[in-house]
Amino acid sequence: MIRVLSPIFALLFASSVASAANITWDPENGYQSDEVELSGLLPQEIQRVLKWMNKGRTAEERGIYRTALRNYKRVHKRFPKSQYSPEALFRTSQIRLAQNNVDKAFDAFELIAFVYPSYGSFNDTIGEMYKIAVRRQESYRQRLFLIFPGFLNLDRATRYFERIVSIAPYSDYAPLSLMNTAQIWAKKKNDTLAIYALDRLITNYPRSFLTPDAYIQLANTHSNLVHGPYYDQSNTEDAITFFEDFLIQFPDNNRVNEAEDGLSDTQNLMALSKVKIGDFYFHKRSNFHAAKVLYNEAITLAPTSGSADMARNKLDMIAAKEEKIGVQDTPEAEREAPDSEEMQKKAERRARRKVLGLF
């Protein structure tokens, strides 16, 4: 039983087979191939393709780029299943690079990688796409009125890096593209998208040589989002987690000292936050039990830090006050004192009441 291939599958199959052919160019004899044309074209159509390809290549070598591009476009637009179609796209990309039109060069390379992956070296094609994306990120400035250099188009660079990750997720260029994407978002002060790119890198490419740096960058990004001990410390907790994961997974990395310093700083900040909350319950609410819980958490988090020393001094003060007022008054207060989770829930309820205008 003979099955009929769908048009899309037939196109991809024919193009992948055709693009694997050994195509050569000779200025005297024109284009030649050692493979049989399997695209299903009629003999006169094949001759037309060869005529356009030869005319285009001759014009290209003479520097008549407009004529060359017009003939190459005819080939890959009208006969996309021909074995010469990816060659036409490749020659188009080379002309666009010569014209410094990197965007149209990227489009040509992308079409080769997506539709004709077996043409030439797939990794080399992705590499050319990556080079263009990096140029868009670092130096390429489209000229205004063909005279004045414009601004860097970082949004376009981001799109190019994401296209590389989408088309070639298993290539070495995918983690590189994600790292560059994270750097672009960090430069644009968009920490959320920078974190998202870095998280994809460490999740999808745990063995990449960039993964250790991604952990450090993630930890530092989360740490920089914290404005001090009086604010929400969820980002501090994330920073601590990434620093600890880095030290566990990469103990021999050359950035271990940096990670240890970062972990110490974030733990000290978290401990200081515990101390400040404990001070509230100690001095404002006279809730010794709640204060002691928080001070002890601070000591556990960073036992050698200055925050831990502050917490120990506060515990000594609580002990002195408890002794002064009598031990018999303490148990009832301790039974009524909420733990950390209850305190957080009460704070959330108070915040909701304030939003609604209720007290």
User: pLDDT by residue for the chain (359 residues), tens digit each?
Assistant: 333 334 333 344 344 434 445 889 998 889 998 877 777 888 899 999 999 999 999 999 999 999 999 999 999 999 999 999 999 999 999 999 999 999 999 999 999 999 999 998 999 999 999 999 999 988 655 654 445 455 578 999 999 999 999 999 999 999 999 999 999 999 999 999 999 999 999 999 999 999 999 999 999 999 999 989 988 899 999 999 999 999 999 999 999 999 999 999 999 999 999 999 999 998 888 899 999 999 999 999 999 999 999 999 999 999 998 888 875 444 444 445 556 666 666 666 666 655 445 44
141 bridge partner residues: 152
Same domain for 83 and 116?
A: yes
Same domain for 174 and 59?
A: no
User: Taking each helix axis from N to C terminus, what angle separates 154-167 and 173-187, rounded to the nearest 10 degrees?
Assistant: 150
The parent domain of residue 10 ranges over: 1-120
In a domain, 161, yes or no: yes
In a domain, 262, yes or no: no
Q: How far is CA 294 from the centre of its chain?
A: 37
pLDDT at 143: 53
pLDDT at 151: 58
Same domain for 54 and 18?
A: yes
Last residue of a domain, one of 143, 172, 189: 189
Among 162, 163, 137, residue whose Cα is nearest residue 152 = 137
pLDDT at 39: 77
Same domain for 128 and 43?
A: no
Same domain for 149 and 116?
A: no
Same domain for 96 and 37?
A: yes
Residue 114 corresponds to which tokens in the numbers above? 């997506």
Same domain for 67 and 107?
A: yes
Q: How far is CA 230 from the centre of its chain?
A: 31
Same domain for 111 and 10?
A: yes
Neighbours of 14 (CB within 10 A): 21
In a domain, 283, yes or no: no
Exposure of 269 by Cβ count < 10 A (0-12 exposed, 13-18 middle, 19+ buried)? buried
In a domain, 209, yes or no: no
Q: How many domains does the structure of the chain reveal?
A: 2
Last residue of a domain, one of 59, 90, 120: 120
In a domain, 347, yes or no: no
pLDDT at 177: 97
Same domain for 108 and 129?
A: no
- State the Cα–Cα distance between residues 126 and 124, nearest whole angstrom: 5
Same domain for 6 and 115?
A: yes
In a domain, 78, yes or no: yes
Among 104, 98, 126, 124, residue whose Cα is nearest residue 114 = 126
Same domain for 128 and 45?
A: no
H/E run at residue 31 = strand 30-33
Q: Would you give the DSSP letter of residue 328? A: G
Last residue of a domain, one of 146, 163, 189: 189
Contact 63, 83 (CB under 8 A): no
In a domain, 149, yes or no: yes
In a domain, 220, yes or no: no
Same domain for 176 and 87?
A: no
